[in-house]
Copies of this chain bind each other. A is one copy, B any other.
Amino acid sequence: MPRDSSEKRMEILKFFWQYTQEHRRPPTMREIGEHLGLSSPSHVKYHIDRLCAQRLMKREPGVARGLRITAKAMELLGESLPTEEEMLSLPFLGYIVASAPVPVEALSGSETIEISRSLFGRNVDNLFALRVQGNSMIDALINDGDIVVFRPQQRVENGELAAVWITETGETTLKRFYDEGTRVRLQPANVTMQPLYYPREAVEVQGKVVLVIRQLA
């Protein structure tokens, strides 16, 4: 009885995707058939051929498990295929503190943090991540323990959140940055804390905050 077989084909795509995720290899036609309850491999091939005609799948003739799913099919499935290109592996450089910032030496750890590319804009070069220690940025909605991702840059607009390197102490701190002409003001985002003032050449902006991640439970 020819039921709605477009649904059946969709089921094939879905199964193909699942199976590939789980086994790290494409399924055979028989495996697909088994899942769908189709008892002959030729029957599966029949549907596969149609899926290929619709450009929802692609095959390399003659190779075992030589099936692929196309981007078109992925859209149809509503999956955003998390390929390697979609993922960024950011260096996770340790802690950044407001009061007693990390020495730059610490900025060489080998840990990384994986974050989906889609959470960022165009330029994702050299992004790096730090974990915030202390609650000096609480008014900027950044809490103790939050992970902050920075885009490296030497200049930021006044008032932006930035990682700032203080030459004389060799430490880096997270503050709101204000260039006031004769000096710069590093402003904690916490009403109970006082700003720091430095000559402009005594500090160096290392990057600006582009993402904040907070783990709760």
List residues of A whose CB falls within 8 A of some B CB: 20-21, 24-26, 28, 64-66, 68, 78-80, 82, 84, 86-87, 89, 110-116, 118-121, 138, 141-143, 151, 161, 208-217
Contact = CB atoms under 8 A, between A and B. Distances in A.
Contacts of A118: 113-114
Contacts of A112: 78-80
Given A115-B116, A116-B115, A141-B138, A89 B79 contact: yes
A115 B210 CA distance: 16
A143 B138 CA distance: 12
How often does this chain occur in the complex, in copies? 2
A122 B202 CA distance: 45
B87 A87 contact: yes
A32 to B, nearest CB: 14
